[in-house]
Amino acid sequence: MARLIVVTPNPAVDTTYAVEAQAVGESHRVLDVQRRPGGKGINVARGLAALGHDPVCVLPLGGTSGAWVAAAVGDLGLEASVTPIAGLTRTCVAVTDAAAHPTVYNEPGPDVSPAEWDALLADVARLLDGAAMLVVSGSLPRGTDVAVVARLVAAARAAGVPVLLDVSGASLLAAADAGADVVKPNADELLAATGAATVADGVAELRRRGAGLVVVSRGTAGLVASASAGEYSAAAVPGITGNPTGAGDAATAGLAAALLDGRPVEDALRWAAAMGAAAVLRPVAGEVDVDAFRRFVASGPAPRTPDQPTDESSAP
């Protein structure tokens, strides 16, 4: 199987605290602690591995927390290409209880110098030789020029490798401007980045800028997509409850896996919806219930080609 490259620009130590109930301004007894190597790209790589792919995680890592992430990625059976940085890899915390949506605290990430980004881009260029796809997923560390995103897209295009980006803000616009093959924002990210009033208008703006396939996740409203061949949608899997943290990353993995398998856009959206739901069933971000994924794909409703995408903006 050809190599699949997954870049996590801003990896983290993901820590999940389970508490009985959350209350602002109160002390809490933590009932359970889970720590995992995190950052959206690592979660995507874990989803791809669960579906039988063999991704290489490209990670800028620094300090003791960075060393922990590198070791933990290896413990998960994932291959890593580590670019050393001087800054300390961030920690992100999710607090969960039985009654409320998780409360998440995401650190901004370390300063990464231009020379360190040059080194990471050189690592990516080396790995792209013979690769099947480049996936870039997650935020940029604070102070990073979004030109890094454009350079990653350009490197993939120069190597003849398709590139899929799950990024937000100025990075999303930079990806579209650089001609990314696939971009996958959620609805809130799409509207915030483009300034559009509706999902349809936001999608049109990214397509106008140069993005090939634009896929928008909308949580319980499902997914919509637009490409030169037409417009598509897929419903979310109904009746799913649990921890939605990481569901969007799992959806990205499902989308990438389906496209790698040469499946049409309609199937790719169904895979994305099924993987997102399968992640909600697991208590910690980065995990998916693969049996549930297969069940959802097999039993899910047929995809449809809408006259016009809806504008609901909830998203995983």
Q: Report the distance separating Cα 279 and Cα 260, nearest Å.
A: 20
The helix/strand/coil state of 47 is: helix
Q: Report the distance separating Cα 185 and Cα 216, nearest Å.
A: 5
249 classed as catalytic: yes
- 5 neighbors 56 (Cβ within 8 angstroms): yes
Catalytic residue of the set 14, 123, 166, 249: 249
Q: In angstroms, what CA-CA distances link 304 with 30, 252, 259, 308, 316?
A: 45, 20, 18, 11, 21
Give the list of residues 6+ apart from residue 94 with CB closer than 8 angstroms, or none.
14, 15, 16, 17, 102, 103, 104, 105, 245, 285
- 206 neighbors 190 (Cβ within 8 angstroms): yes
Bridge partners (DSSP) of residue 18 are: 32, 96
Residues recognised as catalytic: 249
